[in-house]
Chain A
Amino acid sequence: MLSYILSKLKFLKLLGQNYKLSQSNSTASKDEKNTTSHLSVSLKNNLDLFKETIGNNYDVVIREFTINMQKQVDAVLIYFAGMTDPKIVNESILKPLMFESQLEKNTLASKLDIIEIIRTTMLSVGEVNKRNTINDIVDSCMAGNSILLVDGCPEALLIMTADWKSRSVDEPKTESVVRGSREGFVENLLTNTTLLRRKIKNPDLVLESMKIGQRTRTNVCIAYIKGIVNPSLIDEIKRRLNNIQTDSILESGYIEQFIEDAPFSIFATVGNTEKPDSVAAKILEGRAAIFVDGTPFVLTVPLLLVENFQTSEDYYSRPYFVSFIRLIRYMAYLISILAPATYVALTTFHQELIPTPLLFSMASAQEGVPFPAIAEAVGMGIIFEILREAGVRLPRPVGQAVSIVGALVIGQSAVTAGLIGAPMVIVVALTAVASFVVPAQTDSGGVLRIVFVSLAGFAGGFGIMIGLIGLFIHLTSLRSFGTPYLSPIAPLSVADLKDAFIRAPLWTMITRPSFIGSQDPKRKDFRLKPSPPSEKESQSE
């Protein structure tokens, strides 16, 4: 209890420091803005200003050239090599400006703003904007746009040329499916939002963008469907996103940890997925998605516990087997957190509960084993985690060697040598396999497993029950953006149970999940049950 209070105090102190830090940061950025300078008429001054801001970066291309109009005008094109499409720069910017501008000679009135003429008549590029502050220009340049500065103009043209090498749309590694779309998100934000828009071709799909991270200036995009989503959810997401005061956002995990409801819980209250169809399904249920530039993992909120046991494929296959598999997933999760604990409790406290023939084989297997069951369970659990981590981190060919050594040495030889009992190896192996059935909860399962094993070793089945009661109290207290984490189970919503433990046929899923709080609760019309045409109908035809 004392240590709990101490840790709380330490944490508060830490918070205070952070707060001070963020305040000083924000004042610093304000100062910077005050000194923001505007472009001048002189091209040379502008160029100097630009060079001063951007420094001596080797990847900046500063191309000076002359525009041939009625008179010759000096101009500079600035862009980052590698972030722009050279084809657009060469064919659609430089070429018209340097050669084809001759043709325009007669039609152009010299009095007109040169830069406006260039923008309206000479650049065959989709998006071209005018800006006059150096900050805007640098930002845009960093995002891959080309900057055109023309002598005598206090404004610059920002020409949309951004294009860089990115991974192609690929099948996601974490959520592979047998049936269903094989598209997965990539690192490029625009590609990702496009993948989503291709699923939902509806103007109500809103993609709102903002920049987070004082230094990384990462693009973050909130996606939702206007008319379905609860507006207060969007307000809350925006509030939490705006509260993020950090210098860097490198992955959506950063955002997740800054906006989650229960940062001390072992359960995640923000979901993530790599699949556009999952995101589409979730926002169609009234959730919101948060895209972060630079990662294929898209966040979805609110997250319910039952969502961890659902996959997109559940809805593409027919309901019977899917419902069975979903129950299997719940069972596997329970096995993954409770199997070693139950084994420890049975063998050290409740031997009378073991069926006699099973007791015989277990007792003879444990004969001569030097460690108590609790030590075996914890030890084997840790060894398994080591093997798993090694297998994940190592290059694939080495990873195989690790698993062979692990399986043979740790499994086979340890039993033969009498260091551990064979039943314990079976229990740990079963647990290990079961823990991968629900990938979203693998990490929480790993923590809970250790907790339950300790409780079981300390107080047997009684300890397990105490642990389970604690777990359920914790789960019922969790909220994800205002939605109870255990809904639709607690609080109960009978209508929503059609998609919790089983997956009811699609034509029965008439309403959206009620706890997410959708504005438009009805998903489809009643009486959608497919049936062959009745006799009367076919006669009339």
Chain B
Amino acid sequence: MKSVKKAAALLTTILILSLGTSGCWNRRELPSLGIVMGVGMDKNVDSGKLEVTAQLIKTSELNSGSSEADSSGGGGGSSAYWNLQNTGESMFATVRGFTHKSSRKLYWPHNQVIIFGHSLAEEGVLEYLDFFVRDQETRLEVYMLVADDNASDILDFQLKLEKIPSVGISELMESQSANSQTCVTQLNEFVTRLMSPTTAPVAPIIKIEGKGANSELSVEGTAVFKKDKLIGQLTKEETRGLLWTIDKVKSGIIDVKCPDCSGTVSLEITRSKGKITSQIEDGKPSITIEIEEEGNIGDQSCDANLVAPDAIEKLKKQVEKAILEEVESALKKSQKLKADIFGFGEVFHQRHLKEWTKMKDDWDEIFSNLEVEIIVEAKIRRSGMIGRPATPAKE
């Protein structure tokens, strides 16, 4: 009986004491939250200061349903989001400055995207990223993008399918694995690359294509950073060249010439593997990129019989060539930019530590002249539901 009382007293004590140790203890009702779905950072044209755009959801408008259906009529169904802007010197001060303008305190855990304006990215993003890594409310799994112009314009672009632009962009990011032509980057990946002494961070580029009612939001190409500054861009083909190398190709379509005639054959990538190995021979460093790819015939525009063994063999060569070209173009661009987007430096660091200590100081020069051997091995597994194309039989 005594021990029971003792245990009860102990439990009560633990309970009361532990209440104070639970860290960030606060009770907030849902209607008191200003839920941030996306954030954009630009350089203010006039003052040169940081301009942060936070996209909040208007919870009262979420279920109204009539927000964008008749927005083309120019009427004014109010949108389900609110882009709040604030200018300031430092990131955290600017973010906290939103409390002057918003009735609800900003709530960050559900933030989906971070978009850097082009001019800001060119000057460096380091000082603005610290907040997103350090704060306990923000998440590292947020998508990072670079706008080809102003981030605030992107965040204000009303999508046709989604009520909230940030959610639309986040969904867009998730569907990019179907083409593998966008280097989808989350904040943690970006920061990991940023922390490496040699590897160059990358982020997809988002832009508004077209004008007025026909404009669309489009993710295409990759922004290449040197340290934390934007220095160049990859096209979507070059981007896939990068993805082949760093083993991030999930799916996608490769177009090749038909080996027998002038038609086009499209192959769907079903599996791929990329591997980087480093060698140093006679003090001369070199890199080998091995790429394995498996795919199916998805589409052909000619009437050649591609399922014949020799045709498959020829087609395979074509695919290997196409992949090789993509990787080579990415390599060429990055060597020109002197930005090690593939992480070759890290490979040397891991495998040739002794030599690396000598190499790392002038890595940029070594990288731009690095000899790279690319080995591609493609396989064609299936031809879909049919073998030969559905064409009129030839006599």
Contacts and interface: CB of A to CB of B under 8 A. Distances in A.
Interface string A256-290: 00000000000000000000000000000000000
Contacts of B110: 351-352, 356, 359
A359 B62 contact: no
A477 B7 CA distance: 12
A363 interface: yes
A1 B11 CA distance: 12
B29 A359 contact: no
A351 B107 contact: yes
Given A466-B15, A470-B11, A473-B11, A360 B30 contact: no
B31 interface: yes
B27 A359 contact: no
Interface in B37-83: 37, 57, 59-60, 62-63
A362 B63 CA distance: 11
Interface stretch (A9-17, A87-95, A367-375): A367-375
B28 A459 contact: no
A459 B30 contact: no
A193 interface: no
A431 interface: no
Given A348-B28, A349-B27, A363 B33 contact: yes
Interface in A396-421: none
B35 A363 contact: yes
Nearest to B62: A364
A528 B167 CA distance: 61
Nearest to A470: B11
Interface string A508-528: 000000000000000000000
B12 interface: yes
B30 A368 contact: no
A349 B24 CA distance: 10
A361 B63 contact: yes
B31 A351 contact: no
Interface string A331-372: 000000000000000011101100010011111111111001
B19 interface: yes
A207 to B, nearest CB: 37
A349 B25 CA distance: 8
A19 interface: no
B35 A364 contact: no
Contacts of A347: 29-30
Given A363-B33, A363-B35, A363-B62, A351 B28 contact: yes
Contact of B29 (A361, A366, A460, A466): A366
A90 to B, nearest CB: 63
Q: State which size class the interface on A falls in.
A: 20 to 34
A507 interface: no
B109 interface: yes
B22 interface: yes
A342 B57 CA distance: 24
B27 A360 contact: no
A462 interface: yes
A363 B112 contact: no
B31 A363 contact: yes
Looking at B31, B35, B37, B167, which has the most chain A CB atoms within 10 Å of its CB?
B31
Contacts of B29: 347-348, 366, 372-373
A349 B28 CA distance: 6
Contacts of A348: 27-30
A462 B11 CA distance: 14
Contacts of A359: 35, 110
Contacts of B167: 356
Nearest to A477: B4
Contacts of B11: 470, 473
A364 B63 contact: yes
Contacts of A363: 30-31, 33, 35, 57, 59, 62
A318 to B, nearest CB: 42
Contact of A1 (B12, B28, B63): B12
Contacts of B31: 363, 366-369
Given A348-B28, A470-B11, A459 B62 contact: no
Select the residue from B9, B33, B110 with max chain A CB neighbours within 10 A.
B110
Residue from the set A364, A372, A473 with the largest chain B CB neighbour count within 10 Å: A364
Contacts of A364: 59-60, 62-63
A360 B62 contact: yes
A5 B109 CA distance: 46
Contacts of B18: 462, 466
Given A1-B12, A363-B57, A466-B15, A356 B112 contact: yes
B22 A462 contact: yes
A359 B139 CA distance: 16
A368 B62 contact: no
Contacts of B109: 351-352
A366 B18 CA distance: 31
Contact of B30 (A352, A362, A460, A470): A362
B232 to A, nearest CB: 33
Interface string B1-29: 00010010101100100110010011111
Interface in A439-462: 457, 459-460, 462
Contact of B59 (A367, A372, A473, A477): A367
B59 A360 contact: yes
B62 A361 contact: yes
A239 B18 CA distance: 45
Nearest to B139: A352
B138 to A, nearest CB: 10
Contacts of A1: 9, 12
A368 B60 contact: yes
A407 B110 CA distance: 35
A161 to B, nearest CB: 53
Contacts of A470: 11
A471 B63 CA distance: 40
A306 B4 CA distance: 25
Contacts of B7: 473
A264 to B, nearest CB: 12
A369 B31 CA distance: 8
Contacts of A369: 31
Given A352-B109, A363-B57, A470-B11, A459 B19 contact: yes
B60 to A, nearest CB: 5
Interface in A453-496: 457, 459-460, 462, 466, 470, 473, 477
Contact of A351 (B19, B30, B60, B62): B30
Contacts of B37: 356
Contacts of B4: 477
Contacts of B15: 466
A351 B27 contact: no
A369 B59 CA distance: 12
A361 B7 CA distance: 44
A428 B62 CA distance: 24
Contacts of B33: 351, 363
Which of B27, B30, B107 is the most central at the interface, judged by chain A CB atoms within 10 Å of its CB?
Answer: B30
Contacts of B35: 351, 359, 363
A527 B354 CA distance: 70
B314 to A, nearest CB: 48
Nearest to B29: A372
A422 to B, nearest CB: 10
17 contacts: A1-B9, A349-B26, A351-B35, A352-B110, A352-B137, A356-B167, A360-B57, A360-B62, A362-B30, A364-B62, A367-B31, A368-B31, A373-B29, A459-B22, A462-B22, A473-B7, A473-B11
Nearest first, the 5 closest Cβ-Cβ pairs linking A and B are A352-B109, A364-B62, A363-B59, A366-B30, A364-B59
Interface of B: 4, 7, 9, 11-12, 15, 18-19, 22, 25-31, 33, 35, 37, 57, 59-60, 62-63, 107, 109-110, 112, 137, 139, 167
Given A352-B137, A366-B29, A459-B19, 15 more contacts: A349-B27, A352-B139, A356-B167, A359-B110, A361-B63, A363-B35, A363-B59, A364-B63, A366-B31, A366-B59, A372-B29, A373-B29, A462-B19, A466-B15, A473-B7
